[in-house]
Structure 1
Amino acid sequence: MKNVSFLLFSLCLCITSFAQPRFGKLLKTTPGVVSYTYRNEFAKNVPQTLDNIKALGVTNIEFSNLFGKTSSELRAMLNERGMICTSYGVGYDALLNKMDAVIQDAKTLGAEFVRVAWIPHTAPMDLTLAQKTVADFNNFGQKLKENGLTFCYHNHGFEFLPYQNGTYFDYIVQNTNPDYVSFEIDILWVFHPGQDPAALLKKYPSRFRLMHVKDLKKGVKGDFSGGTPVENDVTLGTGQLDLPKIMKAARKTKIKHYYIEDESPIAGQQVPLSLLYLKGM
């Protein structure tokens, strides 16, 4: 364990020392991380977890949980460390029934984007659900825009069931108002149901504003469930996704923020290596 800790510490120093002014050839700035990556650590000690993340050279976090803190308390902790929250993830129900609180928390955190990552459903997506989703998203997006925020939907795999000449995801993108609705592409959850993330980025270059950068364990077969064991999240560059192709395609889109999301129980070991992979890409 001592050797592993020393290696990770050395990697952190390496990343931090080269994080500015340019992160790498394909990414100009150091990517952020999604708070879910460090959910277990945040649940135990928020300040220490923020310190550990900053030690990697990462200062941008997408929060989808306040971990028992108020948005004001969390913002103060970020400010103390020179860190920022650029995107705030919430549940579908919060957007339906607690919009004012969502807006207040997002603004307090300093977030520009409000993201939802799951559409409630009990059966595979069909046209009725897709139509309701479009109506809800347009409504969410309009209210958020009126308050200076940008709404993003994070795909989760089940939206890629075939519909007409494309998928239900295509239907949602094509029928939502681009003035109100943007998207956060989770590349694992595009690949898992059998789609090509690079091709999707090229298809809708102006609609994607955020990205979750992930990789899927080799040998894992995908489906339309929107779920896979967390152990299937692996260090970037060691799985099935063609990350150089995807990241090159992303450069020609309107994506503003990239976040590493690693749901694995050993994310703490994998994230430093994923950062090095992205930097050297």
Structure 2
Amino acid sequence: MSSNRRDFLRNTAFATLGLTFASRLGAAPFSAMKKLPSFGLQLWTVKDDITKDAKSTLKKLSEYGYKQIESFEGKSGMFWGMTNKEFKKYMDDLDMKIVSSHCNNTVDFERKAAEAAEIGMKYLICPYKGKQKSIDDFKRFADEFNKSGEICKKNGIRFAYHNHDYSFKEIDGKIPQVVMMDGTDKNLVDFQMDIYWVVAAGEDPKKWFERYPDRFRLCHVKDLAKTDKGHESVQLGKGTIDFPSILKYGQDKGLKYFIVEQEAFTGTTPLQSADADAAYMKAFSI
């Protein structure tokens, strides 16, 4: 046997062993690794900056590598002092897209849905309902979401609800998140999983993806670090959440939009953290 032949067999054996070992550790074979699709940023991360100077802040975010934006409804609306078409034009100039926005779905929602649809947005999202005294309150929310979903569907977009930890806390023997998901029409209402808040509630995000496939279409990629006071939001990769496993599983169960969010900042500014979070996402493989 030639030395070249021996080297080839030896290297092949080592490669096979390495892949087997990686598989046992739960890592994907190299051929199966792939980059995330486009990822976005929830503008709440940079709320002070976007309020002071929307265009400058958005330009910086585009330079960091964000291709998608999820807005929220501030004092100047979802489009930060611009009309919906002006906002879209600026997004186009930056090679970015506004894919969704958090907003109040109980006030002037017909107009909001029409304006969102006019510029090609995909989702309007209810961001918060808060703790309630009775499970009946969450049943009413489910009815409300169905009506909002009908308005969105009429305009050619989708409606979704964004969770916090409170919806996983039992009330009257039932879990509010289950009540809302079972009580909404899947043809009208999707859900945005805030992974941070699911983990903070002591729940496994993958179990919820498994229980409700194709219902969680968006997620907030937000890391969690444990503190003396409980937990806080930190830069991606500096917390405890297993994003490689969770996001891969979620994508297999219908997850389409990956929106970065960070809410606490220690020793850094929101824009600096947004830059670091973008670097994490650009290097991320599932």
Place the TM-score, normalised by the shorter chain, in its bin: 0.7 to 0.9
Residue of structure 1 in register with 2:80 after alignment: 67
The CA deviation at 1:138 is 0.9
Query: Is the deviation greater in 180-189 or in 211-220?
Result: 211-220
The CA deviation at 1:165 is 7.2
Q: Percent identity?
A: 26
Does the C-alpha gap of structure 1 residues 164 and 200 become closer, same or farther in structure 2, counting only changes over 3 Å?
A: farther
Name the larger-Rg structure: 2
1:111 has 2:136 as partner: no
Task: Note if contact 1:26-1:247 (Cα within 8 Å) is conserved in structure 2.
Answer: no
Does the C-alpha gap of structure 1 residues 108 and 41 become closer, same or farther in structure 2, counting only changes over 3 Å?
A: farther
Query: Is the deviation greater in 266-275 or in 30-39?
Result: 266-275
Residue of structure 2 in register with 1:128 after alignment: 136
Residue of structure 2 in register with 1:99 after alignment: 109
Deviations 1:216-240, CA, capped at 9 Å, x for gaps: 1223666xxxxx7xxx210112112
User: Residue 216 of structure 1 aligns to a residue in which SS?
Assistant: strand
User: How does 1:9-158 map onto structure 2 within 5 Å?
Assistant: 25=33, 27-65=35-73, 66-91=79-104, 95-119=105-129, 121=130, 124-158=132-166
The CA deviation at 1:277 is 3.0
Could you tell me how far apart the structure 2 residues matched to 1:38 and 1:215 are? Answer: 16
User: Residue 218 of structure 1 aligns to a residue in which SS?
Assistant: strand
Unpaired segments of 5 or more residues in structure 2? Answer: 1-31, 74-78
Residue of structure 2 in register with 1:240 after alignment: 240
The CA deviation at 1:96 is 2.3
Task: Note if contact 1:34-1:260 (Cα within 8 Å) is conserved in structure 2.
Answer: yes
Deviations 1:235-273, CA, capped at 9 Å, x for gaps: 112112222221121121212211101123433222333
One-letter amino acid of the counterpart of residue 167, structure 1: I
Output the aligned Cα RMSD.
Answer: 2.2
Residue of structure 1 in register with 2:277 after alignment: 274
Does the C-alpha gap of structure 1 residues 108 and 243 become closer, same or farther in structure 2, counting only changes over 3 Å?
A: same
Unpaired segments of 5 or more residues in structure 1? Answer: 1-23, 223-227
User: Residue 259 of structure 2 aligns to a residue in which SS?
Assistant: strand
Normalising by structure 2, report the TM-score: 0.79
Task: Note if contact 2:135-2:174 (Cα within 8 Å) is conserved in structure 1.
Answer: no
Deviations 1:118-165, CA, capped at 9 Å, x for gaps: 12x5x5352210110111011111121111010110001111112577
User: Residue 227 of structure 2 aligns to a residue in which SS?
Assistant: coil
The CA deviation at 1:106 is 0.9
Task: Note if contact 1:34-1:261 (Cα within 8 Å) is conserved in structure 2.
Answer: yes
Does the C-alpha gap of structure 1 residues 269 and 97 become closer, same or farther in structure 2, counting only changes over 3 Å?
A: closer
User: Residue 111 of structure 2 aligns to a residue in which SS?
Assistant: helix
One-letter amino acid of the counterpart of residue 179, structure 1: N
Could you tell me how far apart the structure 2 residues matched to 1:37 and 1:135 are? Answer: 30
One-letter amino acid of the counterpart of residue 275, structure 2: P
Does the C-alpha gap of structure 1 residues 54 and 197 become closer, same or farther in structure 2, counting only changes over 3 Å?
A: same
